[in-house]
């Protein structure tokens, strides 16, 4: 296979070989069912307890029994949201943000249209930061749940979820707060115990564990009806025989991610900043969709005015460079990204915005190569753009 320059780590990540190594014994050697009474199964149960301890520390929970394993970030969010609402059927008001991931927004749409919930949506500012101003007035005694992401998947902007939880709890201590930390995990430190957050979800495949594993933090005392009903696994909060190798893999990925939060995150941020600055310098119709410093270190989102994002991606793909546009990947359609729309990104680059997301495996050479090839791709597309006059005006303006 040709060399791949993988700059789409917010979509998914390469599984770290060290993670695979830790998982392998649990397929063909230590394959016992952790619920079995004999030692062959009991040993595996012990390994799951260790993995849960690792997750407790990674999320910054107080207790090991506050962590359950799920199959992905989507399941964590669905378990949290439906679980809390089902356990408290009388309250029908929810608050969230306009820029949540589809796994949350689509569920809320469903709750609105099928089950009579009223959902209020917080706005973001033009730099993608969350506007908490109206929150206090939105929360009332009918508010069952407030949810927000810890970092946005398209822009990387970090949201003040600790502050959000504080405002919510001051107004109504019975309202539950769920945080989708799928894009923050492994990129910034999580420390849920020092917040008033009740539930927090993460996903393995965004942090170099395999697809098919996630986790959910449920603060002790939080009433939650399980999504999957059956056996007594995960303290009755998620039935089904535990996915042992993947649980072990997730724990190892969390350890590695924690080890890499310091110097390695700084290196990734420097690479991201180099990529960003290089594109802005060498492509006259490039526009940074957000420059807030409070972003996860690996993400940038850049608009290319008067050019079609999907075309950029196809040309980059021919060169082995993988990135994504905020549009098609999430919705399966060519609609403009709901996140960029909420930020008020001008229509001139709404459809030409590309997210580049790096990882600890991204190298200097890969960024250099991207910086060499991308201006050529954009130039080629500029030449066939129907907006020649606008592009010329822009070129003169930037000259
Ligand atoms: N939440 C956010 C912010 C995400 O970016 C994603 C995936 O892209 C998810 C949730 C869903 O996670 P999963 O793919 O593990 O279901």
pLDDT single digits (tens) 353-383: 999 999 999 999 999 999 999 999 999 999 9
Spatial neighbors of 37 by CB under 8 A, at least 6 apart, are: none
Q: Is the confidence at residue 2, as pLDDT, over 90?
A: no
Asked if residue 154 and residue 134 are part of one domain, the reply reads: yes
Domain end, chosen from 241, 259, 277, is at: 259
Domain boundary among 202, 231, 259: 259
**Same domain flag for 242 and 328:** no
CA of 381 to the centre of ligand 1 (A): 31
95-108, pLDDT tens digit by residue? 999 999 999 999 99
Lookup: tokens for 311:
């075309």
Of the candidates 394, 166, 370, 343, the residue with the CA atom closest to the CA atom of residue 272: 370
Could you tell me the distance, in angstroms and rounded to a whole number, from the CA of residue 331 to the centre of ligand 1? 13
329 is catalytic: yes
Q: Is 128 in the pocket of ligand 1 (CB under 6 A)?
A: no
- State whether 38 and 72 are in the same domain: yes
Is 250 touching ligand 1 by the criterion CB < 6 Å?
no
**CATH number of domain containing 198:** 3.40.640.10
Among candidate residues 259, 274, 305, the one where a domain is terminated: 259
248 & 283 share domain: no
Range of the domain at 343: 5-12+261-398
Question: Is the CB of 182 within 6 Å of ligand 1?
Answer: yes
Question: Torsion over CA of 190, 194, 198 and 203, rounded to 10 degrees?
Answer: 10
- Shared-domain flag, residues 163 and 213: yes
Lowest mean pLDDT among 163-167, 308-312, 323-327: 323-327
Judge if 255 and 358 occupy the same domain: no
Indicate if 198 and 319 belong to the same structural domain: no
pLDDT recorded at residue 399: 81
Alpha carbon distance, N-terminus to C-terminus of the chain: 40
How many domains would you assign to the chain? Answer: 2
pLDDT at 330: 47
User: What is the model's pLDDT at position 22?
Assistant: 98
d(CA 63, CA 193): 9
Under the banding of pLDDT at 50, 70 and 90, the label for residue 87 is: very high
**In the prediction, which pLDDT does 326 show?**
67
**Contact at 8 Å (CB) between 150 and 180?**
yes
Name residues whose C-beta falls within 8 Å of residue 75's C-beta, 6 or more positions apart in sequence.
214, 227
Q: Which atom of ligand 1 lies closest to the CA of 180?
A: 1
Closest ligand 1 atom to the C-alpha of 203? 15
pLDDT at residue 329 above 60? no
Same domain, 247 and 280: no
Same domain, 203 and 282: no
List the one residue out of 325, 331, 301, 319 whose CA is nearest residue 374.
319
pTM greater than 0.85: yes
């Amino acid at each position: 296979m040709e060399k791949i320059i993988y700059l789409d780590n917010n979509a998914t990540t390469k599984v770290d070989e060290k993670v695979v190594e830790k998982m392998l014994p649990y397929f063909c050697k230590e394959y016992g069912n952790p619920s079995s009474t004999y030692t062959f199964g009991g040993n595996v149960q012990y390994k799951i307890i260790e993995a849960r301890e690792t997750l407790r520390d990674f999320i910054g929970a107080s207790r090991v029994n506050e962590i359950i394993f799920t199959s992905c970030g989507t399941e964590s969010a669905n378990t949290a949201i439906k679980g809390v609402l089902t356990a408290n059927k009388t309250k029908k008001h929810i608050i969230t943000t306009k820029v949540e991931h589809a796994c949350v927004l689509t569920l809320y749409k469903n709750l609105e249209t099928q089950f009579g919930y009223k959902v209020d949506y917080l706005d973001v500012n033009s730099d993608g930061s969350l506007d908490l101003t109206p929150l206090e007035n939105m929360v009332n005694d009918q508010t069952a749940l407030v949810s927000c992401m810890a970092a946005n998947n398209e822009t990387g902007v970090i949201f003040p979820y600790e502050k959000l939880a504080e405002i919510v709890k001051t107004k109504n201590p019975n309202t539950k707060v769920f945080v989708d930390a799928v894009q923050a995990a492994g990129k910034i430190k999580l420390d849920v115990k020092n917040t008033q957050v009740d539930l927090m979800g993460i996903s393995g495949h965004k942090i170099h564990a395999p697809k098919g594993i996630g986790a959910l933090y449920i603060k002790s005392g939080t009433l939650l009806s399980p999504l999957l009903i059956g056996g007594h696994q995960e303290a009755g909060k998620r039935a089904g025989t535990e996915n042992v190798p993947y649980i072990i893999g997730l724990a190892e990925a969390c350890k590695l991610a924690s080890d890499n939060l310091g110097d390695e995150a700084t290196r990734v941020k420097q690479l991201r900043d180099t990529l960003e600055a290089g594109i802005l310098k060498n492509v006259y119709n490039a526009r940074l969709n957000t420059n807030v410093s409070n972003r996860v270190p690996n993400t940038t989102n850049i608009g290319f005015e008067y050019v079609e994002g999907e075309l950029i991606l196809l040309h980059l793909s021919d060169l082995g460079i993988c990135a994504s546009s905020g549009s098609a990947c999430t919705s399966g359609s060519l609609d403009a990204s709901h996140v960029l729309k909420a930020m008020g990104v001008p229509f001139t680059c709404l459809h030409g915005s590309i997210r580049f997301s790096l990882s600890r495996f991204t190298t200097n050479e890969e960024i250099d190569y991207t910086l060499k090839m991308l201006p050529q791709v954009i130039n080629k597309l500029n030449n066939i753009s129907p907006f020649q006059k606008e592009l010329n005006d822009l070129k003169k303006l930037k000259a």
